[in-house]
């Protein structure tokens, strides 16, 4: 597997930010998550809400429920997200229930915008 310079630079930047600032607080994460959830709720066939990590940690995610009326189910959506360029990976352990989760801890605003755009393409 070839690792591009941009990946190393992105990783290095993230590592430096983490060492300088520590992990993102739950409140800061929720503040970044709110507009993402709102944008995802504008995508047809999706119902989205903010959820906290099941173990009670201060980690918040976007829980996306793919409606039964959708042209594609959650498993198809996650497969198409992964097959795209760039590949988008999700927490898909509940995809068989129609639920996909997005963990935004290592995702910036541009990447969140890309996720919303890809979902609009997939579910159009």
Residue ranges of the chain with per-residue pLDDT less than 50: 1
Give, in order, the Cα–Cα distances in Å from 102 to each of 5, 16, 117, 122.
Answer: 25, 24, 14, 16
Half-sphere exposure of residue 43: CA atoms within 13 angstroms, side-chain side: 28
pTM of the predicted model as reported, rounded to 2 decimal places: 0.80
Asked: is 24-123 a CATH 3.90.1150.110 domain? The reply is: yes
pLDDT at 46: 98
pLDDT at 4: 54
pLDDT at 47: 98
pLDDT at 76: 97
């Amino acid at each position: 597997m070839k690792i591009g310079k941009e990946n190393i630079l992105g990783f290095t930047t993230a590592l430096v930010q983490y060492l300088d600032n520590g992990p993102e607080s739950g409140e800061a994460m929720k503040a970044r998550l709110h507009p993402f959830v709102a944008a995802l709720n504008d995508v047809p066939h999706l119902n989205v809400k903010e959820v906290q990590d099941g173990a009670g940690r201060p980690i918040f995610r976007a829980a996306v429920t793919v409606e039964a009326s959708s042209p594609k189910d959650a498993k198809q959506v996650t497969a198409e997200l992964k097959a795209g360029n760039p590949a988008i990976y999700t927490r898909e352990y509940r995809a068989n229930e129609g639920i996909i989760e997005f963990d935004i801890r290592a995702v910036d605003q541009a990447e969140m915008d890309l996720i919303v755009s890809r979902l609009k393409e997939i579910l159009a």
